[in-house]
């Protein structure tokens, strides 16, 4: 099932939790408030649901039952065109990036694949939703795009086995790991380059493992102003989703709502000849099979 955070276009500050049935959206927050759907608490976001043990699993079962049994179901339906989608996770305790995790990306950089996952920290201040602008900061002249599969943790995970790792996934989303390359290379580490406000677009949906399983074999593509710049498949991940969850959980306890950005495929801007960097007026679109399309314009700092 696909879940999303959204606001009605006529009420931008009213954030609600929704889901998708076929081609139609459903207002979960309204269904709970109207008494159509019984749940332990009122839900305004996906993060609210993740605070309830097995919250998304329970919610998904109740929604499927409601669809077939309630005459009031249609009162909570709406068209996606009438809503502004928000990032599926806005306040993660941890947003963890993975470097050099696609074989084609390692090859374009003429490097060697890492023997263990290469972790780096990112921050929640960088998160924005679909259609919200990526802002070019004044101190960087080389802002780059990175299409990535995002993994959202659904249950507390500490030292989990490889075999059980997918059981800790709440769902999958799309992340653009925007990077200031000039700062990344001048600093010799990645914190400043990855931490600017607006540098982590995310969305539009969170899709559950019941639909996407372990996140393998998914086509991933990034288009810049309509031109394909990155095109690969998650089968090319060096360390796959279960590997990452198991490995990271040996180091730190993963909490519900934590997000792992699993790495980017080949085709990044700084690896091209000539190099390509984002500029005001650009539009970046990332599409991952089974999840949807994340679209963000690019603007100058003002």
Q: Which stretch, 49-53, 108-112, 222-226, has highest mean pLDDT?
A: 222-226
Q: What is the mean pLDDT of residues 94-111?
A: 94
- Using alpha carbons, list the distances in angstroms from residue 266 to 185, 234, 237, 279: 18, 12, 11, 20
Instruction: Please say whether the beta carbons of 166 and 213 come within 8 A.
Output: yes
Looking at residue 137, what DSSP letter applies?
A: P
Q: What is the pLDDT of residues 138-189, one digit of tens each?
A: 999 999 999 999 999 999 999 999 999 999 999 999 999 999 999 999 999 9
Predicted confidence at residue 70, as pLDDT, reads 65
As a whole number, mean pLDDT of residues 86-99 equals 97
Other residues' Cβ atoms within 10 Å of the Cβ of residue 188: 6
CA distance 283 to 132: 11
- The domain locations on the chain are 2-85, 95-300
Q: Pick the range with the lowest mean pLDDT from 100-104, 110-114, 213-217, 264-268.
A: 110-114
Buried b (16+ CB within 10 A) or exposed e, 16-26: bbbbbeeeebb
Q: Check: CATH 2.30.30.230 for 2-85? A: yes
Lookup: tokens for 121: 């920290």
pLDDT for 226 beyond 90 = yes
Indicate if the pLDDT at residue 263 is higher than 90: yes
Place 125 in a pLDDT band, splitting at 50, 70 and 90.
very high
Around Cβ 301, how many Cβ atoms within 10 Å? 13
Confidence of residue 193 (pLDDT cuts 50, 70, 90): very high
> For all residues of the chain together, what is the average pLDDT?
95
* Nearest residue to 102 (alpha-carbon basis) of 262, 229, 213: 262
Q: What is the pLDDT of residue 23?
A: 83
The CATH class that applies to domain 95-300 reads alpha beta
Residue range 30-75, pLDDT digits in tens = 999 999 998 888 899 999 999 998 889 999 999 988 888 766 788 9
Phi, psi of 156 (to 5 degrees): -60, 125
| CA quadruple 258, 263, 267, 268: dihedral sign | positive
């Amino acid at each position: 099932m696909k879940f999303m955070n959204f606001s009605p276009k006529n009420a931008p500050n009213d954030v609600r939790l929704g889901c998708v049935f076929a081609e139609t959206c459903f207002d979960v927050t309204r269904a709970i408030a109207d008494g159509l759907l019984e749940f332990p608490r009122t839900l305004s976001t996906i993060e609210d649901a993740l605070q309830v043990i097995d919250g998304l699993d329970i919610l998904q079962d109740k929604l499927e039952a409601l669809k077939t049994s309630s005459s009031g179901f249609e009162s909570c339906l709406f068209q996606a065109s009438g809503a502004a989608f928000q990032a599926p996770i806005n306040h993660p305790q941890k947003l963890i990036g993975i470097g050099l995790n696609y074989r084609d990306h390692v090859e374009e950089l003429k490097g060697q694949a890492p023997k263990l996952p290469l972790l780096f920290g990112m921050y929640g201040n960088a998160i924005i939703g679909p259609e919200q602008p990526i802002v070019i900061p004044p101190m960087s002249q080389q802002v780059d795009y990175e299409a990535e599969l995002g993994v959202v943790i659904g249950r507390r995970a500490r030292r989990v086995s490889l075999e059980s790792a997918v059981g800790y996934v709440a769902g999958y989303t799309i992340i653009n790991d925007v990077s200031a390359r000039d700062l990344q290379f001048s600093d010799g580490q990645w914190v400043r380059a990855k931490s600017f406000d607006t540098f982590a677009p995310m969305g539009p949906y969170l899709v559950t493992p019941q639909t996407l399983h372990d996140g393998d074999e998914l086509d991933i593509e990034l288009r810049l102003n309509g031109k394909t710049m990155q095109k690969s498949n998650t089968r090319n991940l060096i360390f796959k989703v279960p590997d990452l969850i198991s490995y990271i959980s040996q180091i730190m306890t993963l909490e519900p709502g934590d997000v792992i950005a699993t790495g980017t495929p080949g085709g990044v801007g700084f690896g091209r000849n000539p190099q390509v960097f984002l500029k005001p007026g650009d539009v970046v679109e990332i599409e991952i099979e089974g999840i949807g399309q994340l679209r963000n314009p690019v603007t100058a700092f003002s």
